[in-house]
Amino acid sequence: MTHIPLLKVENVTKIYESGLIFKKKVLALEDISFDIEGSRAEILGIIGESGSGKSTLAKIILRTIKPTRGYIFYKGKDISKLEGNELKEFYKEVNAIFQDPYSSANPLRKIDDILLTPIRKFNIAKTKEEEEEIINKALDMVNLRYDEVIGKYPHELSGGQLQRVMLARLFIIKPRLVIADEPVSMIDASLRANILNIIHKYKEYERISFIYITHDLSTAKYVCDRMIVLYRGSIVEEGPADEILRKPLHPYTQLLMESVPLPDPTKRWSKPIALAKLEETVTLSAGCKFYDRCPYKTDRCKKEKPLLRDVGGRRVACHLYGA
Amino acid sequence: MRKQIFYNLIQFVRRLIKNVYLILAMNKKFRIGFITIISIVLICILVILMIPYDPSTVGRFKPNQPPSLSHILGTDSMGRDVFAQLCLGTLHSFIVALIVATFGTIVGAFLGFISGYYGGILDNYLIRIVIDTFVTIPMLPVLILIASLIRAPNIWVLAGSLCIFSWAWPARQVRSQTISLKRRDFIYLAKLSGMNSMEIIVKEIMPHMVQWMVANYVNAVLWTFLTEAGVELLGLGPPTTITLGMIIYWAISYVAMLRGLWWWLFPPIIMFIVIFISLYLMHLGLEEFLNPAKRLSK
Amino acid sequence: MTTLHEELLKVKDLVAGYELPGAFIRAFDQVSFEVKRGEVFGIVGESGCGKSTLAKSILRLLEPPGRIIAGSALFEDIDLIKAPIEIVNKYRWKKISYIPQTSMASLNPVMKIKDQFMELIKKENKEISKDKAIEIINEQLASVGLPTRVADSYPHELSGGMKQRVIIAMATLFKPSLIIADEPTTALDVVVQRGILQLLLHLKQKYGTSILYISHDIAAVAQISDRVAVMYAGKIVEIGDVYDILKKPLHPYTEALLNSVPSLIENKELRGLQGAPPDLKNPPSGCRFHPRCELKISGFCDKIEPSLTKIGNRYVACHLYR
């Protein structure tokens, strides 16, 4: 029996145009394709730096912006064509958690609303007692006490507490898929573990899948099953997270891995990175986008854009691995 | 749905009152300005209620009398008691200011919000161009035009003309504030929690509107005061109504200064300055109060 | 290696905070440490620990309602805290440079990079010839790996990493003996962060510049610091050699910070801290960390505040070590 993936991203491309007379085109995403399976919950990491297009991808999946080309299918249906009740269902099943917890909460309304609104709008509870029960259970799930958050305004909570309220909200909604856009990058390091552990718990026990978007490889490793590495709008490597991190194939992934600082003063960066290599100076019309900064570049890389190919259980877009 | 909107309007007003209460308690500048204005208005009302005649009637008293026991601020060249005129004029100016400010704030907030929230063609081509045009139209020539077209300008014509221009600035403010609010994640999360557009506007955005409208209101009052006086000083004001600006206008027309009638010219100017400073203090106090830094002290 | 004044910056019992309606909140309290010549001294702590306020205080850059209320910061032969502000201002850029947290925003958006450099150069030497000035500018840009075309650009034409390097180039124009860098790599990619941090190390190695490096990222601090101080809720809880402290942390908070960094290699379980950073309006009694400490001794840690005690080569403020 053919199973339909939960989410299918097919050849999504996004081009931003700016300027009235002299139009400038920016290629934010180029030909992105991947699936999220339906049969089991998984956490897919999308690793990218700023300018990689990862936020654009999140917005396209959440229907905030439209792709220039390509499609997104949720449970087989084109999401751009959803409306009315089907659209409401979509928002119940595909939800999100964002980077800045303080921007995610209305500063003029109490925390209670964040949790009550989905219960009421999605008809999750039938009585007031049930409402209370659900809220209590959700707060318990994220290790927050009732009196710690209820009746308070967002600015009275710390970033870590507020983000956990956002997770409690997700527990109430129980979506199939959550787009998590840098959920811990604005949280203090010592409070991140709680949030990451909760995300992991949701996947294991509540069967909620996540698309975990980040620039931080270390937190990605902790929660992700699979990973996609984005570089300037294109996928350069995709595969099981553990394997990619154990043995990164694409030179960009290798560069990322090497540049993550380790909290161990005996394990410092050995080779200095050439400062000129920090920025891409030339935008090639043809050829590999990483050409400028790649230590293994060849003439072929300059002229021919590498395609995503299957290499031993994962996909890599690099001429080093392929005919 | 109607019940929802009604309920939310009540919440709106309650929140408004609570905010005013808060700022009075917390902010010294606002307190001083507010109390000064209220005192002035109350005194003027009291005085007018006690006077049995119409202060604008010409020739009632002996003209050009310096301040004395029977006329605290003397009389002007048309035989009118200056103090009575001052009180009535202040009240009239205030009424005009309140009407124009209310109109401008409500209409401006409404248009600014629609333009900012829905964006698109409506915003870009229709409303934004209209707003920007009105903000940049030189007011004075247009007012002069209106004044010259209408044979007998009265206070309502003046108020009406000011209304035409009063909404543009609030609309611009509210529009840019709506746009920046729209981008915040919590608006999007409201949608992801099942709220529809109307509910989002009413429940998530309206509470912010209160703050914007209060800030804009004080500005609008200030602006109206200034503009009204400016128009009247140029001689375009209603000749038969007494307002602060008109008192000054008449005093200048009758060359009060050179004739030594200081009690006619200075009191209205001083009153004007005091009102202006009080309103400005309220404005500053509001700015301080609405600054996000205030959250720190909570 | 001993030099004439081994201690370049000596901060002693510094206290500063913010004046709020009704109360004065101390952002940090009784902070003391030294930065030696030619060393990178790291200060690591999370939000609310007071490290940014500390950085600003040293160079008297704290704006009202912020205020320094006690302590000293001896640098060369003056006390930066007590000296007249005109003298401290003279030291800025020339002897001590400051790279603020939002340094990318401190570039003037309507001036070309070279003109911003010119302003600094002219302040020191009014008569300098244009050619000589351009030479110096290009030299500085090259020292941070930037091409000369950057001089003719406007800030918005440069990427975040490039702007940061411009700031560093400006900060090292007069070869200061101390650079205070407050989270210099915020919002920068991990590869660019590495480049910037290595650049700072290079400055230390080539010119003997001391660096006071402030960050919330303990891994970044581990990479470039020689000595380190850990701050929590406005106090220094552990201070010493980076190898000692990070290989064998003594204070429970330091250990928690280290345990919060997910490993790229092993599959260890991440354990965070419970609770939240304390409200400095009403800091916890006794040891400020006790509400979140798993090793606390009831009746003791919540009553008496531990002072920094010397244990081997370092100082720790914890009742577990007395």
Domain for residue C141, yes or no? yes
Question: Could you tell me the CA-to-CA distances from A30 to A12, A239, A305 in Å, in that order?
Answer: 7, 19, 12
Residues C206 and C86 reside in one and the same domain: yes
Structure confidence at residue A1 (pLDDT): 46
Nearest CA in chain C to A217: C264
User: φ and ψ at A185, to 5 degrees?
Assistant: -70, -20
In degrees and rounded to multiples of 5, residue C156 shows phi and psi of -70, -10
Q: Give the residue from C173, C196, C225 where a domain finishes.
A: C173
Q: C110 and C74 in one domain? A: no
Are the beta carbons of C197 and A143 separated by less than 8 Å?
A: no
Positions of E strands within B148-252? none
Residue C2 lies in a domain: no
Q: How far is CA A113 from the centre of its chain?
A: 26
Confidence bin at A213 (pLDDT 50/70/90):
very high
Q: What one-letter code names the amino acid at B267? A: P
Q: Are B279 and B37 in contact (CB under 8 A)?
A: yes
Is residue C321 domain-resident?
no
- C-alpha closest to that of C92 among C209, C197, C179, C200: C179
In terms of domains, do C283 and C227 share one? yes
CB contact under 8 A, C194 and A261: yes
- Structural domain count of chain C: 2
Mean pLDDT for A189-195 is 90
> CA-CA distance, B229 to C17, in Å (whole number)?
47
Mean pLDDT over B260-278 rounds to: 91
What would the pLDDT profile of A119-151 be if each residue is shown by its tens digit?
998 888 889 999 999 999 999 999 999 988 998
Domains present along chain A, CATH in parentheses: 7-231 (3.40.50.300)
C246-278: b or e for each residue (b if 16 or more CB lie within 10 Å)? beebbbbbbbbbbbbbbeeeeeeebebbebbbb
pLDDT, averaged across chain B: 83
DSSP string, B109-163: HHHHHHHHHH-HHIIIIIIHHHHHHHHHS-HHHHHHHHHHHSSS--HHHHHHHHH
Strand pairing partners for A227? A45, A239
Residue C162 lies in a domain: yes
Residue C322 forms part of a structural domain: no
- C145 shares contact with chain A (CB less than 8 Å): yes
Domain that holds residue C50: 7-95+174-316
Neighboring chain B residues of C20 at a CB cutoff of 8 Å: 296-297
Cα–Cα distance measured from residue C236 to residue A204, given in angstroms and rounded to the nearest whole number: 40
B203 touches chain A (CB under 8 A): yes
Mean pLDDT for the stretch of residues A4-11: 91
Q: Which residue has the tokens 């967002």?
A: A154
Q: Residue A264 in contact with residue C247, Cβ under 8 Å?
A: yes
User: What pLDDT does residue B170 have?
Assistant: 87
C260 touches chain A (CB under 8 A): yes
Residues C116 and C106: their CA atoms lie apart, in Å, by 11
Count the residues in chain A: 323
When pLDDT is averaged across residues A281-296 and rounded to a whole number, the result is 75
More confident call, B69 vs A280: B69
Q: How far apart are CA C68 and CA C61, in angstroms?
A: 10
How far apart are the C-alpha atoms of B39 and A170, rounded to whole Å? 54
Neighbours of chain C (3+ CB pairs under 8 A): A, B
Q: For chain C, which residues score pLDDT lower than 50?
A: 1-2
In angstroms, how far is CA A136 from the centroid of its own chain?
Answer: 28
- Residue C14 bridge partners (DSSP): C31
My answer on whether C168 and C209 are in the same domain is no
Contact C46, C215 (CB under 8 A): no
Looking at the complex, report in whole angstroms how far the Cα of residue C73 sits from the nearest Cα belonging to chain B.
29
Token digits of residue A241? 């997270």
pLDDT given at position B152: 64
- Closest to A119 measured CA to CA, from B195, C34, B96: B195
Q: Do C22 and B297 touch (CB under 8 A)?
A: yes
Q: Are residues C205 and C248 in the same domain?
A: yes
Q: What is the CA radius of gyration of chain C?
A: 21
Whether the bond into C65 is cis, omega within 30 of 0: yes
C31 plus C87 within the same structural domain = yes
Report all structural domains of chain B as residue ranges with CATH numbers, in order of start.
2-53+78-297 (1.10.3720.10)
Among residues C113, C148, C173, which one ends one of the domains?
C173
Contact call for B204 and A109, based on CB within 8 A: yes
Q: Locate the chain C residue with the closest alpha carbon to B297.
A: C20
Considering only residues 176 to 195 of chain C, which have any Cβ-Cβ distance to chain A shorter than 8 Å?
187, 189-195
Residue C189 is nearest to which of A50, A158, A222, comparing CB atoms? A50
Neighbouring CB atoms inside 10 A of A97's CB total 25
Tell me which residue in A161, A192, A263 faces C276 most closely, judged by beta carbons. Answer: A161
Closest approach of chain C CAs to the CA of A261, in angstroms? Answer: 5
Beta bridge partners of A180: A97, A212
Domain-embedded: residue C287: yes
Whether C238 is in a domain gets the answer yes
Q: What SS3 string covers chain A?
A: CCCCCCEEEEEEEEEEEECCCCCEEEEEEEEEEEEECCCCCCEEEEECCCCCCHHHHHHHHCCCCCCCEEEEEECCEEHHHCCHHHHHHHHHHEEEECCCCCCCCCCCCCHHHHHHHHHHHCCCCCCHHHHHHHHHHHHHHCCCCHHHHCCCCHHHCCHHHHHHHHHHHHHHHCCCEEEEECCCCCCCHHHHHHHHHHHHHHHHHHCCEEEEEECCHHHHHHHCCEEEEEECCEEEEEEEHHHHHHCCCCHHHHHHHHHCCCCCCCCCCCCCCCHHHHCCCCCCCCCCCCHHHCCCCCHHHHHCCCCCEEECCEEECCCCCCC
Pick from B30, B288, B297 the residue to mutate for testing the C interface (most C CBs within 10 Å).
B297
Chosen for mutation from C190, C192, C241 (greatest number of chain A CBs closer than 10 Å) is C190
* Mutate which: A94, A106, A110, A213, vs B, most B CBs within 10 A: A106
Of A191-195, B12-16, C41-45, the range with the highest mean pLDDT is C41-45
Specify the pLDDT at position B233. 86
**DSSP states along C263-314:** -SSS-PPP---SS-PPPTTSPPSSSTTGGG-TT--TTTTTTS----EEETTE
Model confidence at A278, in pLDDT bands (50, 70, 90)?
A: low
Determine the 3-state secondary structure of B178 from DSSP.
helix
At B297 the pLDDT is: 40
Residue B296's pLDDT band (cuts 50, 70, 90): very low
pLDDT surpasses 90 at A19 = no
Same-domain check for residues C61 and C147:
no
Burial of C77 (0-12, 13-18, 19+ CB in 10 A): exposed
Same domain flag for C143 and C271: no
Distance from CA of A18 to the nearest CA of B (A): 16
Domain harbouring C200, CATH code: 3.40.50.300
* Residue indicated by tokens 């069967």: A207
From residue B265, alpha-carbon distances to A3, A206, C59 in Å are: 89, 79, 54
Residue C227: inside a domain: yes
- Residue C138 sits in the same domain as residue C191: no
Domain boundary among C173, C194, C226: C173
**Helix B82-118 with B128-136: angle, nearest 10 deg:** 150
Candidates A218, A228, A233, A223; CA nearest to A250 is: A228
Contacts of C258 in chain A (CB under 8 A): 263
Q: How far is A295 from chain C (nearest CA, A)?
A: 15
> pLDDT tens for residues B54-88?
888 888 888 888 888 888 888 888 888 889 889 99
Chains in contact with chain A (at least 3 beta-carbon pairs closer than 8 A)? B, C
Helix axis angle for B155-166 and B206-233, nearest 10°, is 130
Please check whether residues C276 and C168 belong to one and the same domain: no
**C129 and C91 inside one domain:** no
Q: Are A218 and C192 inside 8 Å of each other by CB? A: no
Q: How many C-alpha atoms does C75 have within 13 Å on its Cβ side?
A: 24
Whether A109 and B185 lie within 8 Å, measured CB to CB: no
Residues in chain B within 8 Å Cβ distance of C21 = 26, 297
pLDDT of B162-197, one tens digit each?
Answer: 888 888 888 888 888 888 888 888 988 998 998 888
How much is the pLDDT for C1?
42
**Does the pLDDT at position A282 exceed 60?**
no
Nearest to A79 by CA among A186, A216, A177: A177
Contact A64 B188 (CB under 8 A): yes
C211 and C304 both lie in a single domain: yes
